[in-house]
Structure 1
Amino acid sequence: MIESIYKTFVKRIENQEQNITLNKEKVIEEAYQMTIVLKELLNEAKNQVFERGFKDKNEEIVYFKNIKPLILGRLIFYNKVYRIETSCPAKGGDIYIRYFEEEQEKLNYEFKERFIDSDFFRYIKSGRTDLDEKYFRLGQIDILEGLNSYVFEIDPQSSTYYDYKVAHIHADELLYNYIQRRLNPEDNYEVLLQVGEAKDILWTHTKNALIELIYALHAADAISHGKLGIRKISGVFQMLFGISLNDLHNSFHRMKARSGSRTLFIDQLKHTLEEYMDKEDSF
């Protein structure tokens, strides 16, 4: 049951983000709208889960390790984007660049303070699960570990403290990519899309499908003999299709944890291509 709830929220977020560009002209309104949507989704997830309760400890862990951080991380990200953009003193030039360089420095400092040399950060990034009961079940907080003072402000009935830390890891990764786009406009797909008829070429499947395809091409060294990294390849596809893939890394890691087939889109491509070949042979 909890897995279906997780998939539902993933799908709903993907649908909301499908038309999000975060380009200069639209970013403030888009970030504001996403903040409202995600706040509502977070409340809905909380109410849904706590009205029915957890069937077992595994459901509790999935909620606090995956579902809540997925929504809260994006909520933190879009809220930060909104605050950054509404405080930006210029639309371009040296002042604009310095502003985003300072935001990058703030992010780097906060990241070092929160996570560098953190056992918990290494635990999350390595994909471990052996301490999940300690980190992602209610009532397991040990204040003797010298946790951030935020722990005393949280509602112990709706947070394990560490779900909030996972959300911040996700948010910081998204924000880092966002600031990089502002500092490196030459890598920015919406700038490159201002040519020719490329605007009419749209990706009409899900973002996860495109991410799966990008990683498959990268793994097969199918583009530039494998000399291009994931970021460059994804930039090409973002430019071509006019789509934003801000959460590339985390989306891929969620694919790795899928139940059943981990290559849903690739499997679908194989099936549909074989069907198409069969039709061609019949003519």
Structure 2
Amino acid sequence: MKQKYKQILLSIEKEVINVQRTKKSLIDEAIHMVSYLDNTLTDLKTQINQKGFESILDEIIFFKHVKPEILGSLLFYNKVVQVESYSPINSELFESYYTEQLKLLNKEYRKDIASSDFYRYYRTGRTDKDEYYYRLGNLNYFDGVDSFFFGIDREFSTYYDYKVAQIKAYDQYHSYLTGKFNRIEPRANDTFDLNEDAEFSWTDSKNALIELIYALHISRSVSNGRAGIRKISQMFEDIFEVSLGDIHHAFYQMKFRAGQRARYLHFLKNSLEQYMDNDL
């Protein structure tokens, strides 16, 4: 991915961290991010309308990776605003409310996302039709299209970039809802399959490693804070030969854990202090 796009995505990550530091309410955080992401897309649209793309590959990268990442997060945060605005005050109703929201999401997923040929194309990582799916103006009306397409700006959408954004938003929102239940551990808390051939193996949970990565970044312990979350996570993925997936939304879930949120960091602290005490 080109450096200019990496910088945009990195700026979004920094904005998420900054707004979390303000300790705003959950709804206020989500509203802030909706506005920020909407403005980001507006600025990108202006730049692309003025300058166009440098190449076919540049266009594909933008509509396959960059815009869906931003738009997917925008759809996600907008959904958070909606669902939290109607969240019951009575704590006894929380579980039934979020359970119903999860059922509605899964129904929408089966109907509008998972049943399409494009979904299978995207999930399997194919690239042979990228020039058809991720370039402007390529649309086969014989396939049938969702009605929303006729109301969008066709100079800034390939139709399928919105489909990718929907998938990303679904993944984020599903993680968000499952994280609401104390009895349901986020998927990012799964342990890795041990790679016997790796020189070093991470043998704790994914969430534990993600906690450590964020702590190193936020404390500016790596390159005085100049190294972004993506670079630090990539470094750990390379060292331990693992895949962390979407670490931002795994971290977002941790904020709403019951009890101790930074569980692994407290475990490290307690383990080290106990070792120091025993070594006296």
The normalised TM-score by structure 2 is 0.68
Q: Report the Cα distance in structure 2 between the residues aligned to 1:238 and 1:61, rounded to whole angstroms.
A: 39
| Partner deviation per Cα, 1:159-217 (whole Å, 9 max, x = no partner) | 111011111111110000000111237748xxxxxxxxx9xx94335432454366457
Is the contact between residue 60 and residue 134 of structure 2 (CA under 8 Å) also seen in structure 1? yes
Aligned equivalent of 1:212, options 228, 231, 234: 234
Is residue 2:71 matched to residue 1:58? no
- Match runs of 1:1-283 below 5 Å: 3-19=2-18, 21=20, 26-90=25-89, 92-93=91-92, 95-184=93-182, 187=185, 202-204=215-217, 206-209=228-231, 211-212=233-234, 215=237, 219=241, 239-240=263-264
Q: Specify whether residues 123 and 186 from structure 1 end up closer, same or farther in structure 2 by C-alpha distance, changes over 3 A only.
A: closer
Gaps of 5+ in 2: 187-210, 218-224, 243-249, 255-259, 267-280
Is the contact between residue 178 and residue 184 of structure 2 (CA under 8 Å) also seen in structure 1? no
Q: Report the Cα distance in structure 2 between the residues aligned to 1:214 and 1:113, rounded to whole angstroms.
A: 37
Q: Report the Cα distance in structure 1 between the residues aligned to 2:95 and 2:40, rounded to whole angstroms.
A: 34
- 1:21, CA displacement in angstroms? 5.0
Aligned-residue RMSD, C-alpha: 3.3
Q: Report the Cα distance in structure 2 between the residues aligned to 1:46 and 1:76, rounded to whole angstroms.
A: 17
Q: Report the Cα distance in structure 2 between the residues aligned to 1:154 and 1:81, rounded to whole angstroms.
A: 23
Q: Amino acid of the residue matched to residue 49 of structure 1?
A: I
Q: Report the Cα distance in structure 2 between the residues aligned to 1:114 and 1:144, rounded to whole angstroms.
A: 18
- 1:19, CA displacement in angstroms? 4.2
Is the contact between residue 63 and residue 158 of structure 2 (CA under 8 Å) also seen in structure 1? yes
Is the contact between residue 73 and residue 171 of structure 1 (CA under 8 Å) also seen in structure 2? yes
- 1:46, CA displacement in angstroms? 1.2
| Partner deviation per Cα, 1:55-88 (whole Å, 9 max, x = no partner) | 2211111111111111111111111001111111
Q: Amino acid of the residue matched to residue 17 of structure 1?
A: V
The normalised TM-score by structure 1 is 0.67
Q: Amino acid of the residue matched to residue 62 of structure 2?
A: Y
Q: Amino acid of the residue matched to residue 178 of structure 2?
A: Q
Q: Specify whether residues 46 and 241 from structure 1 end up closer, same or farther in structure 2 by C-alpha distance, changes over 3 A only.
A: farther
Q: Specify whether residues 108 and 131 from structure 1 end up closer, same or farther in structure 2 by C-alpha distance, changes over 3 A only.
A: same
Q: Specify whether residues 212 and 240 from structure 1 end up closer, same or farther in structure 2 by C-alpha distance, changes over 3 A only.
A: farther
Is the contact between residue 203 and residue 241 of structure 1 (CA under 8 Å) also seen in structure 2? no
Q: Specify whether residues 86 and 185 from structure 1 end up closer, same or farther in structure 2 by C-alpha distance, changes over 3 A only.
A: farther
Q: Amino acid of the residue matched to residue 80 of structure 1?
A: K
| Partner deviation per Cα, 1:94-148 (whole Å, 9 max, x = no partner) | x111110111011101111122232211111122111011111111111110222
- 1:219, CA displacement in angstroms? 4.3
Is the contact between residue 73 and residue 167 of structure 1 (CA under 8 Å) also seen in structure 2? yes
- 1:6, CA displacement in angstroms? 1.1
Q: Report the Cα distance in structure 2 between the residues aligned to 1:154 and 1:19, rounded to whole angstroms.
A: 31
Q: Amino acid of the residue matched to residue 131 of structure 2?
A: E
Gaps of 5+ in 1: 189-197, 221-230, 243-283
Q: Amino acid of the residue matched to residue 166 of structure 1?
A: V
